[in-house]
């Protein structure tokens, strides 16, 4: 037995160059757990940099616009919890599960929609900030879509068919959001539909002339809605589904609850009184489920 262990170690140290090149290529193509974990790690750093640049750049339009952009930037806490959970799942080789596919697609849609709305309102960004924010969101979208496509590939060698099957399975149970199985699930379902309605309405606010005084504020609100809609939806539905299955004590869902709580705690500082009360209520709900589910056995 000792001899066989020595041989294994020796073989690991003398892999031929083609094997090492193959491993590096798989990592760069986001096909290996190491490469996928690194991809999410880079996306996480880009999210913080992008939001910092975005807030700093918004200062030129005054306090009102800065507040709206800062509101959008609070989403970085939720995005960070999603990326951290996906990174851990990549290391464990679990990205093929429906939960992680859903989170992957939510993060992809969140980043891609942000790019579209940022470019649509590019006049309100300085050239340097525009490049940083667009590049960060675009790279995140590419990483998420690539890793998601790898996660569904094993179901069919035809990439297009695998993608269609993956999308169908990922969202096949979406109607379940209206059929919660317990009180906690009901709250997640209500939040899911409430925030989806708010985000959808805000993204389609009437377009004032870009020269009018209200244009920068409308642009900032649209960007906030674009950056929160899909991500919040993916997270809240995943938490609702986990609550239905008695899985909220699992580390992934505790991380998502913590991200939700931090996001809405930050948001409550920026918003008006009514919105502040609602945000604090959501934050307390998230913190409660983060803290007290730790003692519950997961089924």
- Is the pLDDT confidence value at 160 over 60? no
Report d(CA 278, CA 267) in Å as an integer. 10
Nearest to 44 by CA among 4, 88, 6: 88
**pLDDT at res. 84:** 93
Closest by Cα among 97, 130, 101 to 115 = 130
Mean pLDDT confidence for 231-239: 90
pLDDT band for 157, please (50, 70, 90 cuts): low
pLDDT higher than 60, residue 182: yes
Q: What is the mean pLDDT of residues 57-67?
A: 66
Cβ-based neighbours of 195, under 8 Å, separated by 6 or more: 228, 229, 232, 233, 236
Residue-number span of the structural domain to which 166 is assigned:
2-295
pLDDT at 76 over 90: no
Res 263 pLDDT > 70: yes
Could you give the CA distance from residue 223 to residue 247 in angstroms, rounded to a whole number?
33
Element (H, E) at 140: helix 127-153
Q: Find the range with the poorest average confidence among 213-217, 260-264, 283-287.
A: 213-217
pLDDT at 30: 76
User: Would you state the pLDDT for residue 275?
Assistant: 74
- Please check the confidence at residue 149 and state whether its pLDDT lies above 80: yes
Closest CA to 240 of 260, 215, 225: 260
Q: How far is CA 72 from CA 28, 101, 216, in A?
A: 31, 24, 14
Structure tokens at 176: 């379940």
Output the pLDDT for position 272: 65
DSSP string over 146-174: HHHHHHHHTT-SSHHHHHHHHHHHHHTTG
Q: Which of 213, 202, 276, 269 is nearest to 62 (CA)?
A: 213
Tokens 């800065």 locate to 66
pLDDT in tens, 87-145: 999 988 888 888 898 899 889 988 998 888 888 878 878 888 889 999 999 999 999 99
Cα angle 91, 26, 151 (rounded to 5 degrees) comes to: 55
Query: How many CB atoms are located within 10 Å of the residue 94 CB?
Result: 15
Stretch 250-268: mean pLDDT: 91
The neighbour count for residue 31, using CB atoms within 10 Å, is 16
147 neighbors 90 (Cβ within 8 angstroms): yes
With CA atoms as reference, report the closest residue to 37 among 22, 48, 26.
26
- Which of 30-34, 171-175, 227-231 shows the lowest mean pLDDT across its residues? 171-175
Select from 120, 124, 119 the least CA-distant residue to 58.
Answer: 124
Say yes or no to pLDDT of 27 above 90: no
Domains of the chain: total: 1
- What is residue 179's DSSP assignment? S
pLDDT band at 6 (very low <50, low <70, confident <90, very high): very low
Q: Mean pLDDT, the chain, as a whole number?
A: 78
The SS3 call for residue 95 is coil
Name the DSSP class of 176.
Answer: G
Q: State pLDDT tens for residues 199-211.
A: 777 767 666 555 4
Supply the pTM of this predicted model: 0.80
Q: List Cα–Cα distances, 32 to 24, 29, 82, 103, in angstroms.
A: 9, 8, 19, 19
């Amino acid at each position: 037995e000792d001899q066989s262990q020595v041989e294994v170690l020796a073989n690991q140290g003398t892999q031929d160059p083609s094997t090492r090149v193959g491993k590096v290529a798989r990592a760069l193509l986001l096909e290996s757990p190491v490469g996928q974990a690194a991809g999410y790690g880079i996306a996480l750093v880009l999210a913080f940099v992008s939001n910092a640049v975005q807030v700093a750049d918004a200062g030129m339009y005054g306090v009102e616009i800065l507040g709206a952009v800062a509101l959008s930037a609070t989403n970085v806490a939720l995005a960070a919890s999603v990326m951290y959970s996906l990174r851990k799942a990549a290391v464990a080789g679990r990205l093929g599960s429906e939960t992680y596919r859903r989170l992957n697609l939510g993060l992809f849609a969140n980043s891609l929609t942000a790019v579209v709305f940022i470019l649509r309102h590019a006049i309100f960004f300085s050239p340097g900030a525009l490049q940083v924010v667009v590049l960060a969101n675009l790279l995140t979208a590419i990483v998420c879509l690539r890793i998601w496509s790898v996660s569904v590939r094993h179901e069919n060698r035809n990439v297009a068919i695998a993608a269609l099957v993956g999308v169908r399975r990922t969202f096949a149970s979406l109607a379940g959001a209206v059929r919660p199985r317990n009180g906690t699930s009901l709250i997640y379902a209500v939040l899911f539909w409430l925030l989806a309605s708010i985000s959808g309405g805000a993204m389609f606010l009437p377009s004032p002339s870009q020269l009018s005084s209200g244009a920068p504020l409308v642009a900032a609100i649209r960007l906030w809605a674009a950056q929160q809609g899909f991500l919040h939806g993916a997270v809240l539905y995943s938490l609702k589904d986990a609550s239905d299955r008695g899985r909220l004590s699992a580390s992934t869902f505790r991380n998502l609850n913590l991200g939700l709580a931090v996001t809405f705690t930050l948001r409550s500082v920026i918003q008006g009184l009514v919105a502040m009360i609602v945000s604090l209520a959501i934050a307390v709900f998230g913190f409660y489920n983060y803290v007290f589910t730790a003692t519950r056995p997961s089924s």
